[in-house]
Chain A
Amino acid sequence: MSSHIGTFKILIIGDSGIGKSSLMMRFVDGMFDPEISATIGVDFKVKTLNVEGNNVKLAIWDTAGQEKFRTLTPSYYRGAHGVILVYDTSVRQTFANLDTWRQEIDTYITKQNAVRMLVGNKIDKTRDVQREEGERYARTHKMLFIESSAKTEEGVQDAFEELVTKIVQTPELWDASYQSDRVDLNRGGGAAGGACSYC
């Protein structure tokens, strides 16, 4: 039986329409009737995985629909171990907006050494932001970097792989963070307890 080393809270953040939701999705080809799942959009997932013999649970939050308020609620960021900041490589404005999102992350994140990852999504479309620009931005702001296309699934797996690996390699991030076993789904509300690392 594997031991449970912790629960990692991971946020997916960025402008509307850049494919954040599709980053956390994976349709099983040929088995799936999109009409059925389209009736409910999934914005939160629990995933269990095994890393070096230890079970890790991921609580993955997709901010879809929340970003229209431009600023997410602080409780959203509370306790996050990893943040995936996404822009659309075919829309320069979403790259220009990264500063705003990054400042918001830095303002509200409670674990200052949370792993940040920059993801340039939609590389299957006509490019408006060069890869080098994304790399430079990530380097300057100490983020992991990857480009992806959720449509072709290119890079999407790598993004999660890298992020989780980095978190696992940063034990001070999660060492004492697994006491709580509660998730507050009503994230707009103020019911989140201070000790809860994923609400």
Chain B
Amino acid sequence: MSSNTEQQPSSDSTEQLPTDNDIIPQQQLTAEQLREIQKLLMGGTPISSENNANQSANLPLVGCESVECEMGSKNKQIHCPRCRSKICLADTAVLVESEMKMSRYKVDAPEHEIVTRFWLLNSLMAFENIGVSHLVENIKFLSCADCEVGPIGWHDITDKTRFYIAAQRVRYLE
């Protein structure tokens, strides 16, 4: 598509007013698909057993201590620790050692802690669902895209190929 701005639709034209069908698009998707979109986009009701949006409501999720977490190993499918939203698929990250001071992500945790083990992804688009915070110095913190619990990871904007998820702050598909 050309970026020639002269070809933009004339916004003041009264000759080609859109019909109601243009304003209100015809819903060609099935109701189920729309529900799925809705749930995924808006976070939906991840705890509900009806949630088949990311099909994670009934999946057996375990903590970091229950999965193989050796440096250099690939990940199992990663989920939000609270709402179970799917964060990334299996084998999209590698466990690495790094160091980041992160504020607490749940009420009964210390206000800050030094986190040292992270799953490293090389692209933001490698995630299935992720939220990215405003800039704090050079760091953008990562959160769940659906319930926004966080920080569950971080990204230094001076290295655009490294996105870190704190291994102990997420859950895993067994």
Contact = CB atoms under 8 A, between A and B. Distances in A.
Interface stretch (A12-20, A32-40, A89-97, A121-129): A32-40
B18, B27, B41: most-surrounded residue (chain A CB, <10 A) = B41
Contact of B123 (A37, A42, A181): A181
Contacts of B37: 49, 51, 160-161, 164-165
A157 B42 contact: yes
Contact of A165 (B22, B34, B129): B34
A173 B1 CA distance: 8
Contact of B131 (A45, A107, A135, A139): A45
Contacts of B150: 36-37, 40, 42
A37 B148 contact: yes
Interface in A125-163: 135, 138-145, 153, 156-157, 160-162
A110 to B, nearest CB: 5
A142 B18 CA distance: 6
Given A26-B147, A110-B3, A182 B83 contact: no
A59 B124 CA distance: 9
- The number of chain A residues touching the other chain, given as a range, is 35 or more
Interface string B86-119: 1000000000000000011111000000000000
Interface string B68-96: 00000000000000110010000000000
B120 interface: no
B143 A157 contact: no
Contacts of A65: 134
B40 interface: yes
Contacts of A25: 148
Contacts of A110: 1, 3
Contacts of A185: 124, 132, 140, 155, 157, 160
B25 to A, nearest CB: 5
A48 B40 contact: yes
Contacts of B2: 112
A41 B9 CA distance: 35
Interface in B9-44: 9, 11-12, 14, 17-18, 22-25, 27-29, 33-34, 36-38, 40-44
B172 interface: no
B23 A28 contact: no
10 contacts: A26-B43, A28-B82, A40-B141, A47-B40, A49-B41, A65-B134, A106-B8, A181-B125, A183-B160, A185-B132
